[in-house]
Amino acid sequence: MRGSAAGGRPRPTIFDHDPGSLRATCEQADMPGYVADQVLGWVYGHGVTTPEGMTNIATRHRERLADLVPLSSGSVLEHQSASDGTQKLLIGWPGRGGLPVLGQSGSGGESECVMIPAATRRTGCLSSQVGCPVGCRFCASGIGGLDGNLTAGQIVEQAFRLGHLGVGRLTNVVFMGMGEPLANAGAVVAAIRTINAPWGLGIGVRRITVSTVGLPAGIRKLTEFELPVKLALSLHAPNDEIRRQLIPWAEYATIAELLDACDGYFRKTGREITLEYLLLRRVNDRVTHAEELATLARRLRATVNLIRYNEVRGLPYDRPTTADVLAFQATLRRRGVRAHIRASRGRDIAAACGQLRHERVSDSNSPPASASTITRSSDGDMS
DSSP 226-255: SS--EEEEE---SSHHHHHHH-GGGGG--H
d(CA 274, CA 355): 24
* Pure H helices in the chain: 19-28, 34-40, 46, 59-68, 152-162, 185-196, 216-223, 240-246, 255-269, 287-300, 322-334, 355-362
Amino acid type, 145:
G
Who's near 17: CB < 8 A, 6+ residues apart?
25, 36, 40, 69, 153
- As a whole number of angstroms, the distance between CA 10 and CA 32 comes to 23
Rounded Cα distance, 100 and 262, in Å: 35
Cα–Cα distance measured from residue 368 to residue 377, given in angstroms and rounded to the nearest whole number? 14
Rounded Cα gap, residues 112 and 7, in angstroms: 27
What is the SS3 string spanning 86-123? Answer: CEEEEEECCCCCCCCCCCCCCCCCEEEEEEEECCCCEE
In the three-class reduction of DSSP (H, G, I as helix; E, B as strand; rest coil), residue 74 is classed as: coil
Give me the catalytic one of 26, 132, 136, 353: 353
| Given 110, 112, 157, 180, the catalytic residue | 112
Question: Does 112 participate in catalysis according to the annotation?
Answer: yes
Distance, in Å, from the CA atom of 343 to the CA atom of 254, rounded to the nearest integer, reads 29
Asked whether the beta carbons of 112 and 90 are under 8 A apart, the reply is yes
Q: Which residues contact 60 (CB under 8 A, 6 or more apart)?
A: none
Q: 87 pairs with which residues across the strands? A: 81, 115
Q: Kindly report the length of the chain.
A: 383
Annotated catalytic residues are 112, 353
